[in-house]
Amino acid sequence: MSFHAAAPATTTIRLLDSEGRFVETDENAEYAAAARAIPDETLLAMHRRMVITRRFDHAAHNLQRTGQLGLWVPSHGQEAAQVGSVFALRPQDHVFPSYREHAVTMTRGVEPMEIISLYRGLTHGGWDPDERGNTHISTLVIGSQTLHATGYAMGMRLDGDVGTGDADRDACSIVYFGDGATSQGDVNEAYVFAASYKAPVVFFLQNNHWAISVPVSVQSPTPLVDRPRGFGIPAIKVDGNDILASYTASVVATDHARSGQGPAFVEAETYRIGAHTSSDDPTRYRGDDELASWVERDPIARSEGYLRSRGVTDAQLAEFDAEGEAVAADIRTRTPQLVAPPMQVMFDHVYREPHPRIDEQRGWLEAYEADQDGASHA
């Protein structure tokens, strides 16, 4: 399915209604055909990942409320957008997440405790992309990861890793960012470079309607999906709480990028059910009715409805709940046991190679600590 032919520009691709019933229309026909071909094992694997992430997210939030984490960034409500997109990736693709993509990073092999350690303030990002499915560390500087992903994709193109037709070689990068990030200069510069250099990068926007307390209507008078089109990047909007739409659109977008035709863009319309972070109180700026209308479109309930219509049993679904509970129990046990590393490690990953200014600062700290030690023994 070609990106341009896939659907009219004004369509929001939706394949599951709020009860999880399959919806087929003239406009979504190509996506519907692709969705019907998804094997049951993939549907189950995606559902499992969503359920585990939701349970992990709640447990981590509770750990923050009991003082075990410095901060938590909830992902509740955005599971289908994240899981559908990451399941479209191949091992050789590279992932550039922001701070809320727990389902994405865990699917690529990041350990739950690595995410927990980050939000306990014990690491600067804490994993090696080479060992974690080419998952680069979470970027908290809004939008800057779009440039990292674009630059990486430009390199992939220079290396000849696009358009060879070899499924194990052709690669793309995917970058996750939010509606608020679209207002950053970095994001728009990334669009320019990606389009000009035909970089194999997929821009995956999770429009969760809020940038902390600023509604998306303030970010742009035009639909966000129209912006990349102005830069020459083909773009599609999907119901981001619909796992089938998120997955099929991401397959189309990543295939487009890997084929050498240049960047692609997916806007997944979703909603942040929880607070922006554990430091935020959303009742100060949004109403109960808005929240309730999105709770009704819960991505996990819709996926579950669809799976049941395909004959998945209570017992199978209960297994995923049990797995999620085991992950939650594990982080509850292990988080209080985490040990703070020596202060010097904060210099370790500033640069990949040794750097004289960093060595100088590390040396200063060591001398200072030795001096303090000496003073306390005097």
Ligand X SMILES: Cc1ncc(C[n+]2csc(CCOP(=O)(O)OP(=O)(O)O)c2C)c(N)n1
Catalytic residue positions, numbered: 272, 276, 285
Among 53, 105, 173, 208, binds ligand X (CB under 6 A): 208
Torsion of CA 302, 303, 306, 310, to 10 degrees: -160
- The residue from 74, 77, 133, 178 that contacts ligand X (CB under 6 A) is 178
Total residues at interface with Mg ion (CB under 5 A): 4
Q: Does 270 bind Mg ion (CB under 5 A)?
A: no
The residue (of 18 and 184) whose beta carbon lies closer to ligand X is 184
CB atoms within 10 A of CB 229: 14
Examine residue 208 and tell whether it contacts Mg ion (CB under 5 A): yes
179 near ligand X, judged by CB under 6 A:
yes
- Least CB distance to ligand X at residue 204 (A): 12
Instruction: Work out the angle at residue 120's Cα, subtended by the Cα atoms of residues 330 and 274, and round it to the nearest 5 degrees.
Output: 80
The answer to whether the beta carbons of residues 146 and 190 sit under 8 Å apart is yes
Least spacing, CB of residue 286 vs Mg ion, in Å: 12
Instruction: Estimate the crossing angle of helix 185-196 against helix 144-158, to 10 degrees.
Output: 10
Site for ligand X contains 142 (CB under 6 A): yes
Minimum CB separation of residue 140 from ligand X in Å reads: 5
Q: Does 76 bind ligand X (CB under 6 A)?
A: no
Q: Does 211 bind ligand X (CB under 6 A)?
A: yes
Does the protein bind ligand X through residue 343 (CB under 6 A)?
no
Please, what is the minimum distance in Å from the beta carbon of residue 246 to Mg ion? 16
CB 177 within 8 A of CB 145: yes
* Interaction between residue 203 and ligand X (CB under 6 A): no
CA 183 from centre of chain: 19
Residues 6 or more apart from 311 whose CB is under 8 A from it?
none
Q: Which stretch binds ligand X (CB under 6 A): 45-53, 179-187, 282-290, 370-378?
A: 179-187
With CB under 6 A as the contact rule, the residue among 29, 212, 329, 350 that binds ligand X is 212
| DSSP character at residue 283 | G
100 is a site residue for ligand X (CB under 6 A): yes
> What's the CA gap between 6 and 265, in Å, rounded?
13
Q: For Mg ion, which residue of 178, 200, 274, 299 counts as binding (CB under 5 A)?
A: 178
Among 54, 29, 9, CA closest to 274: 54
Handedness of CA 229, 100, 281, 324 (dihedral sign): positive
Q: Which stretch binds Mg ion (CB under 5 A): 173-181, 223-231, 343-351, 359-367?
A: 173-181
Nearest to 183 by CA among 241, 143, 130: 143
**Of ligand X, Mg ion, none, which one does residue 142 interact with (CB within 5 to 8 Å by kind)?**
ligand X
Instruction: Report yes or no: 236 and 4 within 8 Å, Cβ to Cβ.
Output: no
- Number of residues forming the site for ligand X (CB under 6 A): 14
Q: Which is nearer to ligand X, 258 or 276 (CB)?
A: 276
**DSSP category for residue 344:** G
Distance CA 273, CA 66 (A): 21
318 binds, among ligand X, Mg ion, none (CB under 5 to 8 A by kind): none
Residues near Mg ion (CB under 5 A): 178-179, 208, 211
